[in-house]
Amino acid sequence: KRHREMITRHATELLDSWIDDGEVEFIGRFARPLPQRVMASILGFPQEDIPQLAEWGDAAVTPFVHGDGLQHTLEPEQTEEMLARLDGFQDYIYEHVTAKRADPQDDMVSFLCNAHYQALDRELTDLEIAGSVHAMILGGLETTQYALEEEAQLLCEHPGLFEQLRDDRSQIRQLTEEAMRMRSPTQGLSTRMTSQDEVFQGVEVPAGSLLHLRFGAANVDADEFECPFDLDLDRPGITRHVTFSAGPRVCPGASLSRIEQQIAWNVLFDRVASIAYGDGNDWLHQPGIMLGTLRLHLRFERA
């Protein structure tokens, strides 16, 4: 919650750059740069480094976007290209770790540099810190981007909903939770191999089979959610979805993403009176495990 002011500032600055235009490519000018700015601020990286960080982030998720099958296998030339694009990423993180160890600041990298690993009674190594930073960059950018993008689509597709939420901000949280349930930004992630013969809902699955855990399917399971494809802001247990996984391995950035989404829409509702689909939408989607269009053109009326 201490990041609310920072998130609000970034959202407002982005909105200022297009509020007089009457139309906007929502992803490129808001939904994507907002989590990029927020993550750079939290990690303690300069804002001017965002384009390079975004390039490294795009390269690192190549297997999940273009990989083949449940194991996200890349062709040798794809792997070679990915590694070439990632060149300098690890060195960049190590440079910042070294600097933060010498001169700690109020950011996540500095915190990790001073964290104590109780189980082994020692500090984290540079490699362990780099791994955490790497995971934060991967997990904190595209997921929130696609959540905001799908929420914008739902607002366009439900007449009167934008005005309803603009007048009653207490329902913004319900919108974001329902949208993440209906259109999970990450549709699936973990691949598991069965250790023994099993039967799942009448389907025989031999030992050694690969299973891909699909959050998106679980979230629209009619046995769990009544009328699962309907947007229901009064749905009981509205946070019961598994968009962020569940249990001991729940997404560590879940609270941050939720706050980002809620602040983003509060800022937008302050400045925008209505939105609708604009011209030029081709509805091409990100391949792989994510759900979201590559572009989203919107028309809007300034408040």
Q: What angle do CA 232, 233, 235 make, to 5 degrees?
A: 65
| pLDDT tens per residue, range 169-206 | 999 999 999 999 999 999 988 788 999 999 988 999 99
What is each CA distance from 72 to 78, 126, 190, 288, in whole angstroms?
A: 12, 28, 11, 9
| pLDDT tens per residue, range 75-116 | 999 999 999 999 999 999 999 999 999 999 999 999 999 998
| pLDDT for the residue numbered 213 | 85
Average pLDDT over residues 284-301: 93
Q: CA–CA separation, 162 vs 216, rounded Å?
A: 25
pLDDT confidence bin for 70, thresholds 50/70/90: confident
Q: CA–CA separation, 75 vs 70, rounded Å?
A: 14
Q: In this model, does residue 288 exceed pLDDT 90?
A: no
Quickly count: other Cβ atoms within 10 Å of residue 272's Cβ. Answer: 19
Closest CA to 108 of 76, 136, 79: 136
Q: In this model, does residue 220 exceed pLDDT 90?
A: yes
| pLDDT tens per residue, range 117-138 | 888 899 999 999 998 888 888 7
What is each CA distance from 245 to 7, 158, 221, in whole angstroms?
A: 24, 28, 15
